[in-house]
């Protein structure tokens, strides 16, 4: 499975779990952000602020940290800078520009309720479409959602405060009540079977 | 010359080379062990203890990583991620040619692919050793199950294989450590397959220590900690690799000399003696060339590594490649059918879960063309798979965002059953690899050119792998049953075999029943190239058993003065 296909087809992930190394290891935007990084960021300040604001709507701070606290905006920047192809970069930048024009005002000038309403509407639009234009405003929201999830659920706060993570389990219990599986939340890292 | 002379030389340090090194040194032979890559000592696994958030890019390969592995990442990205990419060679410095597409995933370092292998460990059965002769396919194996059985016992006991005793003629039991457990949905599926089809579903047999080893010869190895990060190298030594298991045993004898960055590019043949006298080696870093000499040589450089050395070793005696009187060297490439299967969702177990990360899955042993079952194609396949709960990734294409998304992610998702077939590939003379003397790699070695594809039997079987998986998941009452087929060329199973096969007749095979070259009795080949047929079981355990058996025979023959 192509490492980029997960962004197009999440339902294939179980296949990936059997055969591909793709998704199941992880990232800490915190750690990366703390490293000396002399390379220029991918996004402009304006673009970066929009990405951060959308990430904050997708996974907000609550009783646990949200995407911004977990360093997700920096993670998304690094993914576009070093991982995605030129074509994918261009699609995302064009999609971001379309997103800026999708509301009654530029996104950062909307109030909180308007921002959330716009993101929610475009997200629903994206899910309803079978053939999404990758440079469209709704594609921007869906791609940002997926990258926000990836960055967040593989960060330390995502793994340890929202999900649960044990570095060295020491034992395997195959069939136990959900309530007795640690704190009963989903495990951060699923069993990866690499054959 | 004296300082470069040993009793034995072992070329390669993967599963086979490691075993050859252990056996020959333990039997008292001063043994030179060569690997073309750098040293990796047990414990020298740079990413082994990294937390998820200590790896950049969500462990994905960067553009630069993909640019260095353009062929490798074409089908599967196997291992090309931040946590394991250092174990795989790139396509820039290590090119090969493809008359027909071929997936070749290599690791050039001490331990070879024993570091990154899938650890599934199954015996071949009597049915497998007899099939070629019964069906008139390829050539007959010169050995039968009973020849290998005691050596399976021997290697299983030393490496530690976890599994369950099942009394299946097509999948003989072994010397097992306790089996790992099945999840609740795997048990549900097992019971339904037994009831509706009379087929078995068992826990995978894996070279992970589910309990302490039953011997005290590997104090560096501890039981599995259920982290399921095996491919990074295990600091607990909980799965078998040459690095954790056989090479420390060889080192302990005091009889092993290891030379790394040592690319063997030629075997030396002495016409007068009618024997191989040694190997020619080029240093991977300096280019310096050295000859080493020994009375017996074990070539365990991996199927195609060995093939490349044989084809590159020409002389007046062997104008077509070392030991290649039959013309079969490089032919009969086999792998396993790989990448096809089906998956589904299972309801009714929402209150059940698991803890720990099991480095193993379930196995459905071969049932096609077994007993009274008869198909349009020959041989059969097994399935490997698992049933576990979906994680947060399921929510990407679902409506939730905001706090609702966070809460949904905290809850384990539905149970997903996924299974993929591993099918037997028949030996065919048409499937071959040759040397292209017009193109050389940076070490001056002619490139390998692959020319192999699945043929009619594989295509028929591949279709049934998908049909049967769909049928079983549907009959089990699961929902959203979907097939999948991943783009995979021959080689994608990373079970390459067959290019220097064993056989009874020197006219049609390269090795005899002791993995000894028909045409040069002091050369033994015990990696995947020796295989006469592929069965459908993961083959590494068989390479280990054949290696230990061949080493024992080689030492006996040396003592008798026969080689």
pLDDT digits (tens, 9 = 90+) for B336-376: 999 999 999 999 999 999 999 999 999 999 999 999 999 99
The Cα of B466 is separated from the nearest Cα of chain A by a number of Å equal to: 14
Cα atoms found within 13 Å of the Cα of residue B333, Cβ hemisphere only? 30
Question: Could you tell me the maximum CA-CA distance found in chain B, to the nearest angstrom?
Answer: 82
**Mapped to the 3 state alphabet, what secondary structure does B81-108 carry?**
CCCCHHHCCCCCCCCCEECCCECCCCCC
Which chain A residue has its CA at the smallest distance from B407's CA? Answer: A162
The Cα of A99 is separated from the nearest Cα of chain B by a number of Å equal to: 17
pLDDT at A191: 55
Asked whether the beta carbons of residue B418 and residue A15 sit closer than 8 angstroms, the reply is yes
Kindly report, residue by residue over B487-523, the tens digit of the pLDDT: 899 999 999 999 999 999 999 999 999 999 999 999 9
Cα atoms found within 13 Å of the Cα of residue B232, Cβ hemisphere only? 23
Helix (H, G, I), strand (E, B) or coil at B186: helix
Alpha carbon B55 to chain centroid distance? 27
H-run or E-run covering B25: helix B15-26
Mean pLDDT, chain B, as a whole number? 97
Query: CA B436, B437, B438, B443: dihedral to nearest 10 degrees?
Result: 100
Contacts of A165 in chain B (CB under 8 A): 52
Contacts of B358 in chain A (CB under 8 A): 172, 174, 191
Contacts of B339 in chain A (CB under 8 A): 19
CA distance linking residue B382 with residue B202, whole number of Å: 11
Asked whether the beta carbons of residue B181 and residue A172 sit closer than 8 angstroms, the reply is yes
Instruction: Say whether residue B378 is in contact with chain A using an 8 A CB cutoff.
Output: no
The tens-digit pLDDT sequence of chain B (563 residues) is: 578 999 999 999 999 999 999 999 999 999 999 999 999 999 999 999 999 999 999 999 999 999 999 999 987 788 999 999 999 999 999 999 999 999 999 999 999 999 999 999 999 999 999 999 999 999 999 999 999 999 999 999 999 999 999 999 999 999 999 999 999 999 999 999 999 999 999 999 999 999 999 999 999 999 999 999 999 999 999 999 999 999 999 999 999 999 999 999 999 999 999 999 999 999 999 999 999 999 999 999 999 999 999 999 999 999 999 999 999 999 999 999 999 999 999 999 999 999 999 999 999 999 999 999 999 999 999 999 999 999 999 999 999 999 999 999 999 999 999 999 999 999 999 999 999 999 999 999 999 999 999 999 999 999 999 999 999 999 999 999 999 999 899 999 999 999 999 999 999 999 999 999 999 999 999 999 999 999 999 999 999 999 999 999 999 999 999 99
Give which of B351, B392, B413 to mutate to test A binding, by max A Cβ within 10 Å. Answer: B392
Cβ burial of B127 (10 Å; 0-12, 13-18, 19+) is: buried
pLDDT at A25: 30
Instruction: Say whether residue B191 is in contact with chain A using an 8 A CB cutoff.
Output: no
Instruction: Say whether residue B228 is in contact with chain A using an 8 A CB cutoff.
Output: yes
Contacts of B59 in chain A (CB under 8 A): 21, 24-27, 154
The Cα of A105 is separated from the nearest Cα of chain B by a number of Å equal to: 22
Which chain B residue has its CA at the smallest distance from A17's CA? Answer: B418
Give which of B401, B414, B479 to mutate to test A binding, by max A Cβ within 10 Å. Answer: B401
Q: Which of B225, B392, B422 sits opposite A153 (nearest CB)?
A: B392
Query: CA A175, A179, A185, A190: dihedral to nearest 10 degrees?
Result: -10
Interface A-B: count of C-beta contacts within 8 A:
277
- CB within 8 Å of A15: residues ≥ 6 apart: A1, B341, B343, B418, B484, B486
Residue A79 DSSP label? I
Query: In terms of residue numbers, what domain contains B409?
Result: 2-560
Contacts of A149 in chain B (CB under 8 A): 392-393, 395-396, 405, 409
Check if the beta carbon of residue B329 is closer than 8 Å to that of residue B499: yes
| Locus of tokens 């009540």 | A177
| Locus of tokens 């194609």 | B377
Q: Which two tokens stand for residue A59?
A: 């996974």
pLDDT at B263: 98
Residue B278: which CATH number?
A: 3.50.50.60
The Cα of B377 is separated from the nearest Cα of chain A by a number of Å equal to: 25
Contacts of A1 in chain B (CB under 8 A): 76-77, 486
Compute how many other C-beta atoms are within 10 angstroms of the C-beta atom of residue A31. 16
Instruction: Say whether residue B238 is in contact with chain A using an 8 A CB cutoff.
Output: no
Helix (H, G, I), strand (E, B) or coil at B132: helix
Residue B303's nearest CA partner among B147, B153, B431, B397 is B431
The Cα of A176 is separated from the nearest Cα of chain B by a number of Å equal to: 5
Q: Identify the weakest region by mean pLDDT among A20-34, A154-168, B353-367.
A: A20-34
pLDDT at A192: 55
Give me the number of domains chain B comprises: 1
User: Would the pLDDT of A99 be above 90?
Assistant: yes
CA distance linking residue A190 with residue B356, whole number of Å: 9
Compute how many other C-beta atoms are within 10 angstroms of the C-beta atom of residue B60. 26
Q: What are phi and psi of B451, to 5 degrees?
A: -145, 80
CA distance linking residue B481 with residue B477, whole number of Å: 10
Residue B174 DSSP label? -
Instruction: Say whether residue B312 is in contact with chain A using an 8 A CB cutoff.
Output: no
Q: Which of A1, A149, A178 sits opposite B392 (nearest CB)?
A: A149
Contacts of A155 in chain B (CB under 8 A): 53
Instruction: Say whether residue B410 is in contact with chain A using an 8 A CB cutoff.
Output: yes
Instruction: Say whether residue B385 is in contact with chain A using an 8 A CB cutoff.
Output: yes
Asked whether the beta carbons of residue A3 and residue B227 sit closer than 8 angstroms, the reply is no
Instruction: Quickly state the pLDDT bin for A190 (edges 50, 70, 90).
Output: confident
Instruction: Quickly state the pLDDT bin for A2 (edges 50, 70, 90).
Output: very low
User: Would the pLDDT of A13 be above 50?
Assistant: no
The residues facing B267 across adjacent strands are: B279
Kindly report, residue by residue over B216-256, the tens digit of the pLDDT: 999 999 999 999 999 999 999 999 999 999 999 999 999 99
Instruction: Quickly state the pLDDT bin for A38 (edges 50, 70, 90).
Output: low
Q: Which of A14, A156, A166 sits opposite B418 (nearest CB)?
A: A14
Q: What is the DSSP string of B247-309?
A: HHHHHHTT-EEEE-SEEEEEEEEETTTTEEEEEEEEETTT--EEEEEEEEEEE-S-HHHHHHH
Instruction: Quickly state the pLDDT bin for A7 (edges 50, 70, 90).
Output: very low
Instruction: Say whether residue B392 is in contact with chain A using an 8 A CB cutoff.
Output: yes
CA distance linking residue B75 with residue B55, whole number of Å: 24
pLDDT at A21: 29
Instruction: Say whether residue B414 is in contact with chain A using an 8 A CB cutoff.
Output: no
Contacts of A124 in chain B (CB under 8 A): 399
Listed by number, the residues of chain B in 415-434 with a beta carbon closer than 8 Å to a beta carbon of chain A are 416, 418-420, 422
The Cα of B486 is separated from the nearest Cα of chain A by a number of Å equal to: 7
Asked whether the beta carbons of residue A153 and residue B394 sit closer than 8 angstroms, the reply is no
Give helix A137-153 / helix B403-410 axis angle, nearest 10°. 40
Helix (H, G, I), strand (E, B) or coil at A17: helix
Contacts of A181 in chain B (CB under 8 A): 353-355
Compute how many other C-beta atoms are within 10 angstroms of the C-beta atom of residue B261. 20
Q: Which of A175, A181, A188 sits opposite B181 (nearest CB)?
A: A175
Which chain A residue has its CA at the smallest distance from B83's CA? Answer: A25
pLDDT at B275: 98
């Amino acid at each position: 499975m192509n490492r980029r296909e997960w962004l197009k087809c999440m339902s294939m992930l179980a296949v990936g779990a059997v055969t591909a190394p793709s998704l199941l290891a992880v990232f800490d935007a915190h750690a990366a952000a703390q490293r000396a990084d002399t390379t220029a960021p991918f996004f402009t300040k304006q673009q970066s602020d929009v990405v951060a604001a959308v990430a904050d709507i997708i996974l907000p701070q609550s009783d646990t940290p949200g995407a911004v606290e977990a360093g997700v905006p920096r993670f998304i920047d690094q993914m576009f800078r070093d991982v995605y192809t030129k074509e994918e970069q261009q699609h995302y930048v064009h999609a971001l520009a379309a997103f800026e024009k999708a509301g009654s005002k530029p996104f950062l000038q909307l109030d909180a309720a308007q921002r959330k309403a716009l993101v929610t509407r475009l997200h629903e639009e994206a899910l309803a479409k079978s053939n999404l234009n990758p440079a469209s405003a709704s594609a921007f929201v869906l791609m940002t959602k997926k990258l926000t999830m990836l960055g967040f659920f593989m960060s330390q706060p995502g793994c340890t405060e929202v999900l649960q993570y044990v570095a060295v389990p020491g034992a395997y219990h195959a069939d136990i009540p959900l309530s007795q599986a640690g704190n009963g939340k989903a495990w951060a890292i699923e069993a990866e079977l690499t054959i | 010359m004296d300082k470069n002379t040993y009793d034995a030389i072992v070329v390669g340090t993967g599963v086979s080379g490691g075993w050859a090194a252990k056996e020959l040194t333990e039997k008292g032979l001063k043994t030179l062990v060569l690997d073309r890559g750098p040293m990796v000592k047990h414990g020298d696994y740079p990413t082994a203890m990294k937390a998820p958030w200590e790896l950049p890019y969500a462990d994905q390969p960067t553009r630069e990583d993909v640019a260095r592995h353009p062929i490798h990442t074409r089908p599967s990205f196997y291992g090309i991620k931040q946590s394991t990419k250092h174990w795989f060679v790139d396509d820039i410095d290590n090119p090969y040619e493809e008359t027909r597409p071929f997936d070749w995933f290599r690791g050039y370092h001490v331990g070879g692919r024993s570091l990154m292998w899938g650890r599934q460990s199954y015996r071949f059965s009597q049915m497998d050793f007899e099939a070629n002769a019964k069906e008139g396919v390829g050539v007959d194996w010169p050995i039968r199950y009973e020849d290998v059985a005691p050596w399976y016992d021997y290697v299983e006991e030393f490496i530690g294989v976890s599994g369950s005793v099942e009394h299946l003629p097509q999948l003989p039991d072994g010397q097992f450590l306790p089996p790992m457990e099945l999840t609740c949905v795997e048990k549900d599926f097992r019971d339904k397959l037994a009831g509706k089809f009379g087929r078995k579903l068992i826990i995978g047999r894996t070279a992970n220590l589910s309990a302490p080893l039953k011997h005290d010869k590997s104090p560096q190895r501890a039981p599995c900690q259920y982290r399921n990060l095996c491919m990074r190298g295990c600091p607990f030594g909980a799965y078998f690799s040459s690095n954790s298991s056989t090479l420390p045993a060889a080192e302990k004898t005091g009889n092993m000399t290891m030379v790394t960055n040592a690319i063997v590019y030629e075997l030396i043949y002495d016409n007068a003696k009618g024997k191989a006298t040694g190997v020619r080696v080029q240093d991977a870093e300096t280019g310096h060339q050295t000859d080493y000499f020994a009375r017996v040589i074990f070539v365990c450089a991996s199927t195609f590594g060995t093939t490349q050395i044989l084809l590159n070793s020409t002389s007046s005696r062997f104008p077509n490649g070392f030991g290649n009187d039959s013309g079969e060297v490089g032919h009969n490439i086999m792998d396993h059918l790989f990448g096809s299967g089906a998956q589904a969702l299972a309801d009714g177990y929402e209150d059940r879960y698991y803890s720990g990360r099991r480095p193993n899955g379930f196995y459905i042993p071969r049932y096609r063309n077994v007993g009274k079952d008869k198909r349009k194609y020959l041989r059969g396949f097994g399935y490997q798979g698992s049933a576990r709960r979906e994680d947060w990734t399921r929510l990407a294409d679902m409506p939730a965002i905001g706090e609702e998304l966070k809460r949904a992610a905290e809850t384990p998702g539905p149970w997903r059953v996924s299974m993929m077939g591993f099918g037997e590939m028949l030996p065919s003379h048409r499937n071959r690899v040759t040397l292209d003397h017009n193109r050389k790699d940076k070490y001056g070695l002619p490139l390998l050119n692959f020319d192999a594809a699945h043929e009619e039997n594989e295509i028929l079987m591949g279709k049934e792998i998908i049909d049967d998986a769909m049928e079983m998941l549907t009959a089990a009452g699961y929902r959203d049953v979907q097939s999948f087929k991943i783009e995979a060329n021959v080689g994608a199973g990373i079970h390459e075999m067959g290019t220097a096969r064993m056989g009874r007749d020197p006219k049609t095979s390269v090795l005899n029943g002791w993995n000894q070259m028909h045409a040069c009795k002091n050369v033994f080949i015990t990696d995947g190239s020796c295989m006469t047929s592929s069965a459908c079981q993961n083959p590494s355990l068989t390479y280990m058993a054949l290696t230990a058996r061949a080493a024992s025979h080689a030492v006996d023959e040396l003592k008798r003065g026969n080689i």
